[in-house]
Amino acid sequence: MMHRDVDVAILGAGTAGLHALSEVRRETDDFVVVDGGTLGTMCARVGCMPSKVLLQVADDFHRRRVIEEEGIAGGEALTLDVGKAMEHVRALRDRFVSGVMENSINPLAGKLIRDHAEFLEPDLLGAGDQRIRASKVVIATGSTPTIPRPWQRFQDRILTTDTIFEQTELPEKMAVLGLGAVGLELGQALRRMGVDVIGFDALLRIGGIEDPEVNRLAVELVGRDLSMHLGATAEIEEDGRLLRVTANGESALVDKLLVSVGRTPNLERLALDRLGIDLDDRGMPPFDRETMQVADLPIFIAGDVDGDRAVLHEASHEGRVAGYNAVHEPPVRFRRRTRLGIAFCDPNICTVGETWDGLGDGNVAMGEAGFDSGRAIVMLREEGLIRVYADKCSGTLLGAALVAPRGEHLAHLLAWSIQRRMTVWDLLEMPFYHPVIEEILQGALTDLAGKLEVETDFPLGFASV
């Protein structure tokens, strides 16, 4: 048995853990990182990056369907070599992973312990045959794809994001179970790559969209590629060598299931019950979202494992807060960033700031614009909707929902403006080039300005010097 005493132990060498490390390192060299899983970060190995490569391939191939209208012939003759496409996904994936390994993991050398960690006492950890006494601990153990118990008996025909990018060929018929961002992105991409995909979700919403009008249009637009059954839990049963998936009285026979119903925080192995604090019914400890401190213990938590905002930039933010507070007393409360969610399906589905449900019946005005204008027409992408919400009296932007070509960029502009507490008039004072997609945002803001309870003396978008 090997014993070590350290200032800080970081559990998990993913995005959150490595960002925590970047802050810890500034104050001490006396740390260890413990990780028993596959290294390279979930984002680079099986998350953000390989999924975006797959989407890029699918989008490029899909474009052949519209270019004929522009006079470019031969599009329909293009073919996709699925084996090569998947090799390409893995080649770029490997490049992203090796970047993480070279820059962040390999330099850890003797400070990296390759085992899963568990708490033996609040300041004593076990990892294989090692015992680590740590003054501070950062929990950054990530999450694992959830497979509901009744479906686990079909394990041999279930794909998840942990396995999909390893496929050398794709099934003929597949059901995607769960149409959040991941299910929509992968389901649509696989459909565009020739798989006969059918999507299911127990909710009537897709991609986490709460705004009913944006959701309605998103279902219509994404539904042109990806047939979807919404609003009923899917039942699965064997049917010969295939699986029958049924919901709402509709059923489909498929070879494989892609289960994308969410991810479960990796808490189970940590034995948090030994911390002497109350855990909720998911086994989650109480923690402060601004300090990332767990209860009043010298323990901090960050990333997917805390079950809140499971996206990459939040994992990095929380990791840095947790790392900073692990080496500074007392813990500092850091301001959270404006909420930003993007499903990279086509068109993008984005939510920014306050969501539709969170607006309540308060003093809120909403402005909107469609995409049948200017640059969107040029791109042959004139279908979309942006809805922007603001406080009716002050004009301060609160949130937005959109389904839009290049929506990812509009969503960023809105998130930055909301975080800076800008008003509709502040934004309308900004330059809008012509012809750009951003002009559609200008249209939605102009509509919104007309619905506010305040009149301005000057023409809209003008301020005196």
Ligand X SMILES: Cc1cc2nc3c(=O)[nH]c(=O)nc-3n(C[C@H](O)[C@H](O)[C@H](O)COP(=O)(O)OP(=O)(O)OC[C@H]3O[C@@H](n4cnc5c(N)ncnc54)[C@H](O)[C@@H]3O)c2cc1C
Candidate residues 23, 35, 211, 225; the one interacting with ligand X per rule CB under 6 A: 35
Binding status of residue 34 toward ligand X by CB under 6 A: yes
Least distance (Å) between residue 50 CB and ligand X: 7
From 47-55, 75-83, 226-234, 369-377, span contacting ligand X (CB under 6 A): 47-55
Least distance (Å) between residue 464 CB and ligand X: 41
Least distance (Å) between residue 217 CB and ligand X: 22
Binding status of residue 293 toward ligand X by CB under 6 A: no
- Cα dihedral 130, 131, 134, 139 in deg (nearest 10): 60
Binding status of residue 12 toward ligand X by CB under 6 A: yes
Q: Map the footprint of ligand X across residues 262-291, applying CB under 6 A.
A: 266, 269-270
Least distance (Å) between residue 61 CB and ligand X: 20
Binding status of residue 405 toward ligand X by CB under 6 A: no
Residue 232 or residue 271: which is nearer to ligand X going by CB?
Answer: 271
Residue 64 or residue 90: which is nearer to ligand X going by CB?
Answer: 90
Three-class SS string for the chain?
CEEEEEEEEEECCCHHHHHHHHHHCCCCCCEEEECCCCCCCHHHHHCHHHHHHHHHHHHHHHHHHCHHHHCCCCHHHCCCCHHHHHHHHHHHHHHHHHHHHHHHHHHHHHHEECCCEEEEECCEEEECCEEEEEEEEEECCCEEECCCHHHHHHHHHEECCCCHHHCCCCCCEEEEECCCHHHHHHHHHHHHCCCEEEEEECCCCCCCCCCHHHHHHHHHHHCCCCEEEECCCCEEEEECCEEEEEECCEEEEECEEEECCCEEECCHHHCHHHHCCCCCCCCCCCECCCCCEECCCCEEECCHHHCCCCCHHHHHHHHHHHHHHHCCCCCCCCCCCCCEEEECCCCEEEEEECCHHHHCCCCEEEEEEECCCHHHHHCCCCCCEEEEEEECCCCEEEEEEEEECCHHHHHHHHHHHHHCCCEHHHHHCCCCCCCCCHHHHHHHHHHHHCCCCCCCCCCCCCCCC
Candidate residues 6, 9, 42, 292; the one interacting with ligand X per rule CB under 6 A: 42
From 6-14, 237-245, 388-396, 415-423, span contacting ligand X (CB under 6 A): 6-14
Least distance (Å) between residue 347 CB and ligand X: 16
Binding status of residue 104 toward ligand X by CB under 6 A: no
Contact indicator for 355, 401 with CB cutoff of 8 Å = yes
Residue 206 or residue 366: which is nearer to ligand X going by CB?
Answer: 206
Residue nearest to ligand X (CB): 14
Least distance (Å) between residue 88 CB and ligand X: 17
Residue 272 or residue 366: which is nearer to ligand X going by CB?
Answer: 272
Candidate residues 187, 208, 303, 384; the one interacting with ligand X per rule CB under 6 A: 303
From 46-54, 223-231, 289-297, 375-383, span contacting ligand X (CB under 6 A): 46-54
Candidate residues 9, 13, 226, 261; the one interacting with ligand X per rule CB under 6 A: 13
Q: Map the footprint of ligand X across residues 148-177, applying CB under 6 A.
A: 161
Binding status of residue 58 toward ligand X by CB under 6 A: no
Candidate residues 236, 254, 312, 321; the one interacting with ligand X per rule CB under 6 A: 312
Q: Map the footprint of ligand X across residues 334-353, applying CB under 6 A.
A: none
Least distance (Å) between residue 258 CB and ligand X: 10
Cα separation, 144 vs 193, whole angstroms: 26
C-alpha pair distances (Å), 447 with each of 123, 378, 444: 57, 23, 5
Candidate residues 6, 8, 9, 14; the one interacting with ligand X per rule CB under 6 A: 14
Binding site for ligand X (CB under 6 A): 11-17, 34-37, 41-43, 47-48, 51, 116-117, 140-142, 161, 182, 266, 269-270, 303-305, 310-313, 315
